[in-house]
Amino acid sequence: MEKISIDDVELHLSAPDDVSMSWVGQEDLVTQVLAAWLVIGEDDLPLSPRLLGKPGVGKTTLAYHAGRCLTRPVYLFQATMDTRPEDLIVTPVISEQGKIKYVASPVVSAMIKGGVAIIDEGNRMSEKSWASLAPLLDSRRYVESIVAGIKIKAHPDFRFCTTMNDDASTFELPEYIHSRLQPQIYIDFPERDEELLILKSNLPFADDEILEYVVEFLQTAHEANERYSVRDGINIARYALKRLVESGERLISTDRKKRTAQYLKEASSMILDTTASEYFKAMINDIDKEK
Ligand SMILES: Nc1ncnc2c1ncn2[C@@H]1O[C@H](COP(=O)(O)OP(=O)(O)O)[C@@H](O)[C@H]1O
Ligand SMILES: [Mg+2]
């Protein structure tokens, strides 16, 4: 663990996240995040955007990808209902020698290294926890660690964003927090061709047929205002593919087509619900008609 010293207090830094998440399509959304982070003059400050959207539309992926575009280390912090202010800043840990060791959170590690901090699912976190970040998210750009008794200033390259689910799992955040998490960038369901690209990039080993079925399902569902997202589509395709391989089938085209649709239907009822599997049932009927 890397160590640094602030006011004679030794801090152990968290490591950045190195995950394979790459954003596909809707380039404009990446541009919107990067623009928010720009500093265009001496007295200018970067903004800290809030990425809002339904579960599974790609908020975390977009935040991470945008962070990576800056070629700075990216630190992800998963917010929960139980996140305490000190979890966001500095936590004391008992070391092997029985001494107290101060561990900097991913946010503080990003502040020190000039990296990007992403608070994922920030809507799950209480006002009390958000309040501890209030000075960081305005022109002061610092946090105070009560536990370690130090004030920590953000590196000029430090950038911040948060993702929030557009559903009922939200803590109602007060205006002073909302006003610091601007602009709000809304992520909607992608268009058909983009959704197909997303499926392809996440499932490069899948054949086109299965991806076409899944994108058809997703697009029809989006139109009907269902909540099913590309994440659900990826999970369904992934499981149906595993079923195909597990059953050891080297099927010839027509049989394989129907079997694929059947596995998709089964996967959709296991991963989602019967409403979802109805979409695939309709596809199976169409295949039967073709014959
Ligand atoms: N535009 C996109 N490009 C690449 N992958 C995407 C995109 N949108 C969604 N995904 C994929 O969908 C899944 C859900 O995305 P995620 O970022 O976790 O959604 P959210 O954070 O909104 O719940 C992930 O597997 C991700 O790889
Ligand atoms: Mg997410």
Cα–Cα distance between 145 and 290 in angstroms, integer?
67
> Which of 85-94, 188-197, 277-286 bottoms out in mean pLDDT, i.e. has the lowest?
277-286
Q: Report pLDDT digits (tens) over 110-134.
A: 999 999 999 999 999 999 999 999 9
Closest-lying ligand to the alpha carbon of 122? Answer: 2
In this prediction, residue 248 has a pLDDT band, given cuts at 50, 70 and 90, of confident
Say which residues have a Cβ less than 8 Å from residue 150's Cβ, sequence separation at least 6. Answer: 6, 7, 9, 90, 144
Say which residues have a Cβ less than 8 Å from residue 99's Cβ, sequence separation at least 6. Answer: none
Contact 171, 82 (CB under 8 A): no
Residues enclosing ligand 1, CB less than 6 A?
23-25, 53, 55-61, 163, 198, 201-202, 230-231, 234
Cα–Cα distance between 17 and 72 in angstroms, integer?
11
Q: Where are the domains of the chain?
A: 3-186, 192-290
**Ligand 1 atom closest to the CA of 55, numbered from 1:** 23
For ligand 2, the distance from its centroid to the CA atom of residue 40, given in whole angstroms, is: 30
Q: Report pLDDT digits (tens) over 2-58.
A: 999 999 999 999 999 999 999 999 999 999 999 999 999 999 999 999 999 999 999
CA 92, 72, 34: angle at the middle one, nearest 5? 115
- Atom 16, ligand 1: which residue's CA is nearest? 58
Q: Does domain 3-186 have CATH number 3.30.70.20?
A: no
Quick one: average pLDDT of 79-97? Answer: 94
**Ligand 1 atom closest to the CA of 25, numbered from 1:** 1
pLDDT of residue 247: 84
In this prediction, residue 171 has a pLDDT band, given cuts at 50, 70 and 90, of low
